[in-house]
Amino acid sequence: MTDYYLFMTVGHWKHGRSLRSGFPLQVLALLVRYKKRRNRDGCGFYAAIPNAFTFIEYVESDCNQDTRLFHLKILQETCKTKKVSIVLRRPDSYRDQKMKNKEKILSGAKELFYKYGIKNITMDEIARHLAISKKTIYNAFPDKDALVNSLMLKDLKTNHKDFDEIFNKSVNVVDEIFIIMKKMTEIFSNCNPVMYYDLQKFYPQTWKLFTDFREKYILAHVERSIEKGKKEGLVRPDINTKILAHLRMEEIAMAMSGSNFPADKFSMLDVQLTLAEHFLYGICTLKGHKLINKYKEINEEE
C-alpha cells in the first residue's frame, strides 16, 4: 500500500453535495490523503481521511463522461508525479447539468403532486417516475420539504409574471377577469385539490408563501383592477375598493378550503369560476353587465 498526498481545492464541496454556508463560491484548500487501491472502475484512488471531499465519488456520480475523464487524469497524474494539482471550481458543464437536473425534478414532481397530491408521493416514486437515482434528487434538494418549497417559489414567480402580463395587456377590467378565469381553468382543471389540502396541513411554511402572495400581490392587483374599472365606467363608483378586494381574497381562500367545499361534492374549478363571476357581476355597472354578457355570448333585454 502506497500513500499519496493530493493538495486540492474543495470550495463548497463535501461528499459530492453543496455546503450550506454564506460563501458557496469561496475556494478553500484541503490537504487530502489518498491511498492507492483498485476499485471496480480501475481508477484506484479513494480519500482516506474522514469528512474530506471524496474525489472519486464526485467524478463517478456527478460529472459527465468528458469531465470525469479530465478529473481522473488530474488525480492520476498528481499521484504519479507527487506534484500538486489544484482544481479551482466545478466546471460550467457540471453546474449546467445540475440546473437541468433540478428543473427536471421540479417538473416531474409537479406532475405527480398535481395528479395524486403531495403526501402520497415519496422521493422514491419521483425518482422512478423520472428514471433517475434518488441520490440525484438529494443532490438537488436535501429533503422533500425543500423540493415542495422550491416548486411553490417557482410557480409563484410564474404566476406573478402571468398576472402582470394580463393586467398590462387586457382591454378593460371585464376582459381582464375573463382572461384570469381562463388561466384558472388551465391551473385547476389539471390539479387534484388534495394537493392544496396537503400543503395547508403538512407544509405550513410553504403554504404561507402562497397566502403571503395572495394577501399582498393579488390583493393589490384586485384593488388596481377595481379602480381601473371605475375609470372605464364598468365598475360602480360607489363601492369601497379595499373592502371588496378583501372580500375577493376571502372567496379565493374559501374555494380552496376542503371544509367549505368538500372535494367529493364540489369541483374546485367550478367553485373558483362561479365565485369570480359572481364577484364581477356584483361590482359592475349596467354597462359592465352588458359587456359581461357579450363575453358570455348571452343576449338579454334591458
- Model confidence pLDDT, tens digit, residues 141-151: 999 999 999 99
Q: At what angle do helices 65-81 and 92-116 cross, to 10 degrees?
A: 140
Q: Would you state the cell numbers that stand for residue 219, as one nine-digit string?
A: 390583493
Predicted confidence (pLDDT) at residue 78 exceeds the cutoff of 80: no
User: Average per-residue pLDDT in the chain?
Assistant: 76
Q: What is the pLDDT of residue 186?
A: 87
Mean pLDDT in residue range 239-256 = 94
- Tell me what percent of the residues of the chain surpass a pLDDT of 70: 67
Measured CA angle at 19 (ends 17, 25), to 5 deg:
105
pLDDT value, residue 35: 38
The percentage of the chain sitting over the pLDDT mark of 90, rounded to a whole number, equals 53
Sole residue written with cell 382572461: 179
* Structural domains of the chain, with CATH: 3-90 (no CATH), 93-140 (1.10.10.60), 144-295 (1.10.357.10)
CA-based max dimension of the chain = 97
Do 27 and 150 form a contact (C-beta atoms < 8 A)? no
**Cα(54)–Cα(39) distance, integer angstroms:** 14
CA distance 92 to 95: 5
pLDDT tens for residues 158-178? 999 999 999 988 999 999 999
DSSP labels, 105-163? HHHHHHHHHHHH-STT--HHHHHHHHT--HHHHHHH-SSHHHHHHHHHHHHHHHHHHHH
Query: What is the predicted pLDDT for the residue at 145?
Result: 96
Q: Hey, is 14 helix, strand or coil?
A: strand
The model's pTM: 0.65
Distances (CA, A) of 51 to 36, 38, 56, 252: 18, 21, 14, 50
Query: Where do runs of H (alpha helix) occur along 170-218?
Result: 173-188, 194-202, 204-213
Is the pLDDT score of 274 beyond 60? yes
